[in-house]
Amino acid sequence: MKHLVKIIVASLAFVAMTVAAETKIAVVDMERALFQSEGAKASFKQVEDQFGDDLEKLKDLEKDMLEIQQKMQKDGAIMSDEEQRKMRNTVKEKQSEYQFFAGKLQKAEQEWRQQFFRANLPRIQEILRKLIDDEKVDVVLNGQAVIHVSPDIDLTKKLLNALNKASEAKAK
């Protein structure tokens, strides 16, 4: 009986190894491919143009805060307590303003990412299905959930290239 169990276990292990050896596994990071595509870059450029004033405001605030901090370091020893307090208050106000505009821009980018992904999901799935068929892949893993992947089985770059070609063909 023990001998029969050993034979069955060995047979099952052999079958499992054979099936695993014949299964082609690939990894793809759809989000990375989509957001690195030329279409995403062009779309995001429009968002940047739309929020250009806010971006400029952020840069100006950052520059102002840096200048004030440098002035405080340079002249802090000879400034009166009142001058130092005013400068610290100015920095705090500018930090609050900076956080407001940064939050506004982050929210806009997050909304754009969600909308862009939803709008392009059917197209990326179609391109990915064709790529899976062409590569004869049996199992596809999400690249964001994989700790390590060999470049040989990573389809992300191929998906990115296919997305860019599809965008070029659509533009013509």
23: CB partners within 8 A, 6+ apart: 138, 139
The verdict on pTM exceeding 0.95 is no
> Would you state the pLDDT for residue 169?
79
> Would you state the pLDDT for residue 2?
61
Q: Which of 147, 55, 34, 151 is nearest to 101 (CA)?
A: 55
Q: What is the DSSP letter of 170?
A: H
> Would you state the pLDDT for residue 15?
45
Low-confidence ranges of the chain (pLDDT < 70): 1-21, 172
- pLDDT tens across 122-138, in order? 999 999 999 999 999 99
Q: Please, are residues 138 and 27 in contact by the beta-carbon 8 Å criterion?
A: no
H and E: helices and strands count for the chain:
6, 2
Residue 169: how many CA atoms within 13 Å on its side-chain side? 6
For residues 80 and 110, give the distance between their C-alpha atoms in angstroms, rounded to a whole number: 44
> Would you state the pLDDT for residue 1?
61
- pLDDT tens across 159-168, in order? 999 999 988 8
